[in-house]
Amino acid sequence: MAVRYAVNGLVHKVNPRLCGGQKKNLKGLKKENLRDNMTTLELVLNMLAEATTTQFSRDRKPTTFQENLAVAKAGGQVAGRTRKDIESQSDTPVITAKNAAQLNQVVTDLLDTLRANLDHCVGMAANMIGVRKNIIAVAAGPFQFAMINPVITKKLRPYQTEEGCLSLEGVRPCTRYEEIEVDYLDSNFRKQHGKYTGWTAQIIQHEVDHCNGIVI
């Protein structure tokens, strides 16, 4: 288990090395502001998440860090469910060709960085390299793959473990699941549904948490 903690923690070592200019180049953006590169639908969903989180915060009046995290996650889940409803009825991903080039660059850089550090790295989330997108990269044995907008739809057989991250000192207990199912878009923006178990499932859960602002 000590190796597992170290592996999870070392993944996050790449984040502090990027300065503002590098982040801009990584994103492939012509404009500095990420909002300027969002579609109208992405902006609306982002505003929905922010407005819902604000309302939940007013209602629940969180006082601790964990309570604030729960409020932020709940607000994001509202927007996430709305996105899924839109995509299920239109059969068209919210991600469009307009920002596909930007996202392809993020996917490429995530996978390149992961592959360059496979001796101590098993997964990455886009926000670890300064990109506010719900994209993760995962190493599963000899293979590495990306997930765009991953949503865990099913969890089976919970267990208790500990994980660490270089973003924080030490290790912390957490609940993981031996088997999960995930809806996501692949690197070609095609809808996928996958079932994952064991170590790969744990990596995905860890990185999805990271995208949601939960650092363990």
Cα atoms in the Cβ-side hemisphere of radius 13 Å centred on 197: 1
> Considering 67, 163, 179, 207, which one is annotated as catalytic?
207
Conformation bin of residue 20: beta by default, left when phi > 0, alpha when psi is -120 to 50: alpha
Cα atoms in the Cβ-side hemisphere of radius 13 Å centred on 35: 5
137 Cβ partners below 8 Å, 6+ apart?
Answer: 107, 110, 111, 113, 114, 123, 124, 144, 145, 146, 147, 207
Quick check: is 178 catalytic? no
Cite the active site residues: 207
